[in-house]
Amino acid sequence: MNKKNGVIFSLLVAAILTGCGSNSQNAGDTHNAQLKEPNEKNGAGVDESKGKGKFTEVKLNTPLDQTMVAMGKSITDVKCVACHKLTDEKLVGPGWKGVTNRRKPEWIMNFVTNTDENLDKDAAAQALLEKCMVRMPNQHLSDEEARSVLEYMFKLDGKS
């Protein structure tokens, strides 16, 4: 399967089975399998994408930095929950559950701080846009704010 067909295939399957994000309990996993499968064939590897932007290497904290988690939560409550649930359910955008498993930390940082370029040029972001049919507006987070939201996402995904 060539790259274009692979992408179209993945969009079709995802659109038919999950819509934007997922609604059933296990669909988060199914969704991952759908995104991965065609890309394993064409080598593009959605999950391996770091997205477009300046973040090429994001250093992770073990254990998580609880101050950053708290800051990330306040930012999320103000700027993100209008469109994102913390479960695997879709609202306007995909639910966040498992997002740190399906995306590289660099991809999340680049997408959140450089949303427009990624929606224009990054294959994984474009696949989401095709499904959600709404362009996520740039939220104008500073690098530090975006990093704390990422810390919060790790916490939500059960990392410590």
Instruction: Using CB under 6 A, list all residues that contact ligand HEC.
Output: 75, 79-80, 82-84, 92-94, 99, 103, 108, 111-112, 119, 128-129, 132, 134-137, 139, 141, 149
- Name the minimum Å distance from CB 36 to ligand HEC: 13
Instruction: Specify the residue, 40 or 77, whose C-beta has the smaller distance to ligand HEC.
Output: 77
For ligand HEC, the closer of residues 2 and 16 by Cβ is 16
Q: Smallest Cα–Cα separation from 45: which of 93, 14, 7?
A: 7
Closest contact distance (angstroms) between CB of 5 and ligand HEC is 22
Question: Closest CB to ligand HEC among 6 and 108?
Answer: 108
Instruction: State the residue number with the nearest CB to ligand HEC.
Output: 93
> What is the Cα–Cα distance from 54 to 147, expressed in whole angstroms?
13
- Residue 57: exposure state from Cβ atoms within 10 A (0-12, 13-18, ≥19): exposed
2 or 140: CB nearest ligand HEC? 140
Q: How far is the CB of 1 from ligand HEC (least distance, A)?
A: 22
Rounded to a whole number of angstroms, the minimum distance from the CB of residue 109 to ligand HEC is 9
Give the residue with the Cβ less far from ligand HEC, 55 or 111.
111
Cα 156 versus chain centre, distance: 14
d(CA 30, CA 22): 9
Let me know: does 18 contact 92? Beta carbons within 8 Å.
no
Using an 8 Å Cβ cutoff, are 72 and 149 in contact? yes
Q: How far is CA 38 from the centre of its chain?
A: 18
